[in-house]
Every structure is written in structure tokens, then in C-alpha cells.
């Protein structure tokens, strides 16, 4: 009886919505993954696969990934994907518009010791282990995260702590290559 009543109610609401008598919730209109140009690789872990696009971050400026919640941007001022030296710098939007959460956000739940992969367009893959996490005041970055020399690492950045329309802090995750034996 309840099932029939709820089915009838649902059908009534659908018909009224189609006739314009009842409000219909609008789906978020998130930017597509095609934003930002050609995909050069992916960040992969668990069931997540996020395209990476090249981005030219201004020296000493703000990290501004492509205008979509569905992609990440790799800084062309730093090292390329799978570099054997220095930092590969990747940033993404934690949210891009109302209801458009970043598809890379699940990595924020990872802990030190957890892994993720970087895969190039040609299919080359490298696994990285998370070794450091930070939540810093926006713009309060460490030079170590952006180095051009030294041991290889991937530094991932996204915004956090939205207040009055402005993100106050930056979440930072650093991964180093897992030994290839």
C-alpha cells in the first residue's frame, strides 16, 4: 500500500514538474574535462582517474589550474611528469562552481604511506607514495615544494577553507617515487 502511494506521489510530482507546476532541482553545470587543452597524463588511484593538462603558472604567483573541477594542471615552470629530478607541480580546483567538487578530491583522504600513480599519455606509469601533507595559509609555500633539482617528487596543491567567497588556505600533498626494483 505504501509502495503504491509513494509511486503514485512520485508520478504525480513528475507530471506536475513536466507541466511546469512544481519545481525541479537543477543539476550543477560543471565545466567539462576538455577545458585546458590536450591531456598529457593522468593521476590515478583507487577508482579515480583525473586528466592532467599543462598550465603556465606565473613565477611566484598563484597556482591557477585549468577552469574545471574535472582536471588538474601541471606547471610548465617546473619538472615534467615522471621527471627523475626536482618537483612536478600539479594543482586542481577543490570546487569549481556550486555543486562541482574536484574529481581529484578523494586524494585528500589519503594518508602518509598511501600511493597514487602518474600515467603519461604514452602509457608510462610511476607509483608515488605520499610522504608529506600540509594545510598552509594561502601563499605560505615552502621552496622545497617547487625545487627544480634534487630527488624527484610530485607536489599536489588545492585550495581549502572557503570564507566569504575566498579560499584562505592551501592543501599540499607531496609524493615520492616508490622504489622500482
Given a contact cutoff of 8 angstroms between Cβ atoms, the answer to whether 120 and 137 are in contact is: no
* pLDDT, average across residues 9-21: 46
pLDDT of residue 60: 63
pLDDT of residue 98: 83
Q: What is the overall mean pLDDT for the chain? A: 85
Please give the Cα distance from 160 to 138 (Å, whole number): 9
pLDDT of residue 83: 97
Beta-carbon contacts of 47 under 8 Å, excluding residues fewer than 6 positions away, are none
Beta-carbon contacts of 81 under 8 Å, excluding residues fewer than 6 positions away, are 40, 41, 52, 74, 88, 118, 120
CATH annotation of 26-177: 2.40.260.10
* pLDDT tens, position by position, 159-171: 888 777 788 889 9
The residue extents of the domains of the chain are 26-177
Q: Say yes or no to pLDDT of 136 above 80.
A: yes
Q: Say yes or no to pLDDT of 176 above 90.
A: yes
Q: Say yes or no to pLDDT of 8 above 90.
A: no
pLDDT of residue 61: 64
Amino acid at each position: 500500500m505504501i509502495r503504491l502511494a509513494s509511486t503514485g506521489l512520485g508520478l504525480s510530482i513528475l507530471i506536475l514538474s513536466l507541466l511546469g507546476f512544481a519545481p525541479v532541482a537543477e543539476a550543477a553545470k560543471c565545466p567539462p574535462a576538455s577545458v585546458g587543452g590536450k591531456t598529457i597524463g593522468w593521476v590515478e588511484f583507487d577508482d579515480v582517474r583525473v586528466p592532467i593538462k599543462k598550465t603556465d603558472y606565473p613565477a611566484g604567483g598563484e597556482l591557477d589550474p585549468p577552469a574545471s573541477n574535472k582536471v588538474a594542471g601541471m606547471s610548465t615552470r617546473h619538472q615534467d611528469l615522471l621527471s627523475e629530478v626536482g618537483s612536478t607541480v600539479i594543482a586542481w580546483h577543490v570546487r569549481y562552481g556550486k555543486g562541482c567538487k574536484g574529481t581529484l578530491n578523494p586524494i585528500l583522504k589519503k594518508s602518509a604511506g598511501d600511493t597514487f600513480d602518474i600515467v603519461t599519455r604514452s602509457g608510462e606509469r610511476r607509483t608515488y607514495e605520499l610522504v608529506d601533507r600540509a594545510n598552509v595559509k594561502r601563499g605560505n609555500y615552502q621552496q622545497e615544494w617547487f625545487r627544480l633539482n634534487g630527488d624527484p617528487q610530485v607536489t599536489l596543491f588545492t585550495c581549502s577553507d572557503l570564507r566569504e567567497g575566498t579560499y584562505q588556505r592551501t592543501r599540499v600533498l607531496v609524493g615520492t617515487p616508490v622504489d622500482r626494483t
